[in-house]
C-alpha cells in the first residue's frame, strides 16, 4: 500500500538507552508530523516539518528529543537517554501541505522503557 | 486549560440509536475542525472536517460547528457495532492540529 510507514512497530528498551523511530510518509505529501499518545490520552503534538522550511519543534518535551527529515521525505525521531515516562505510542502523520488538519497516520511505534 | 476538551465518556448507546459527542476549544483563532475515529490498537483516521458554522452531513455522520460558542459536535445516527471506537476532536488555526483526549463510544447490539 501507499500509506504512512513506521518502524519499528514495537520497541522495548532499557532506561538510559537511545532509540530511533522512523517514518516514511505518503509520496507527494510535503507535511510531516510526529505525535505522541500515552495510554488513555489524546494526541500530543511533538514536531512539524513542511517542505524545506524550518521545522516547528515547539512540542518536543525536552532536549532529549530530536527529529530530522532528510530529502523532504523520510523522518527520524530520536530519543536520547530514555526515561520510563517516554513510554508511549509515537505516531507519524503526513498530509498535503495545504490541507491543514487532514492527516494520514501511520500505525505507530510503541515504545516501552523498562 | 487544555486547548481542546471532550466529554470523556465512555458513551454507551444501543444499536440504532443516535450517539452525540461534544467538544469545546479555547483558541478563538481556530479555523478548521476535525473528527478522527480510532479503533482500539489502531491509528486515528479522519472521518469528518468542518470549517463553517452550521451542520455538515456525510452519511450517518453530522458535524456541527458554533464558533461563537467555541463548540463542535458529532452525531452518529443509526449507530452500528462497527462505530464502537474512540472519537478524537481536533482544532487547528494553521498547520498545528490540537486534539482532545477522545470520547470512547460503545454500541450495544
Nearest to A75 by CA among A37, A113, A26, A17: A26
A41 touches chain B (CB under 8 A): yes
Model confidence at B99: pLDDT above 60: yes
Kindly determine whether residue A102 and residue B46, on different chains, have CB atoms separated by under 8 Å: yes
pLDDT at residue number B8: 75
Model confidence at A1: pLDDT above 60: no
**Per-residue pLDDT averaged across A23-52, rounded?**
92
Mutate to test the interface with A, among B10, B95, B100, B102 (most CBs of A within 10 A): B95
Which residue is it, cell 454500541?
B107
The three cell numbers of residue A34 are 510526529
Is the backbone of residue B34 left (phi > 0), alpha (psi -120 to 50) or beta?
beta
**Per-residue pLDDT averaged across A86-92, rounded?**
97
pLDDT at residue number A52: 84
Question: What confidence category does residue A2 fall into, taking pLDDT thresholds of 50, 70 and 90?
Answer: confident
Supply the Cα-derived Rg of chain B in whole angstroms: 13
Spatial separation of the C-alpha atoms in residues B41 and B43, rounded to whole Å: 7
Amino acid at each position: 500500500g501507499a500509506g504512512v510507514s513506521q518502524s519499528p512497530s514495537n520497541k522495548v528498551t532499557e532506561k538510559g538507552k537511545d532509540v530511533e523511530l522512523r517514518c516514511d510518509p505518503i509520496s507527494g505529501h510535503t507535511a510531516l508530523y510526529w505525535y505522541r499518545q500515552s495510554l488513555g490520552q489524546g494526541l500530543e503534538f511533538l514536531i512539524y516539518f513542511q517542505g524545506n522550511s524550518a521545522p516547528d519543534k515547539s512540542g518536543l518535551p525536552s532536549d532529549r528529543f530530536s527529529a530530522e527529515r532528510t530529502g523532504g521525505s523520510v523522518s527520524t525521531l530520536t530519543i536520547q537517554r530514555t526515561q520510563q515516562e517516554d513510554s508511549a505510542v509515537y505516531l507519524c502523520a503526513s498530509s498535503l501541505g495545504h490541507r491543514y488538519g487532514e492527516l494520514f497516520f501511520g500505525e505507530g511505534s510503541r515504545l516501552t522503557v523498562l | 486549560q487544555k486547548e481542546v476538551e471532550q466529554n470523556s465518556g465512555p458513551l454507551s448507546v444501543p444499536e440504532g440509536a443516535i450517539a452525540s459527542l461534544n467538544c469545546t476549544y479555547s483558541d478563538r483563532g481556530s479555523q478548521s475542525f476535525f473528527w478522527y475515529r480510532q479503533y482500539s490498537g489502531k491509528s486515528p483516521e479522519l472521518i469528518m472536517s468542518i470549517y463553517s458554522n452550521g451542520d455538515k452531513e456525510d452519511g450517518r455522520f453530522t458535524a456541527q460547528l458554533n464558533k461563537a460558542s467555541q463548540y463542535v459536535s458529532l452525531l452518529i445516527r443509526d449507530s452500528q457495532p462497527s462505530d464502537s471506537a474512540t472519537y478524537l476532536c481536533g482544532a487547528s488555526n494553521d498547520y498545528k492540529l490540537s486534539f482532545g483526549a477522545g470520547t470512547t463510544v460503545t454500541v450495544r447490539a
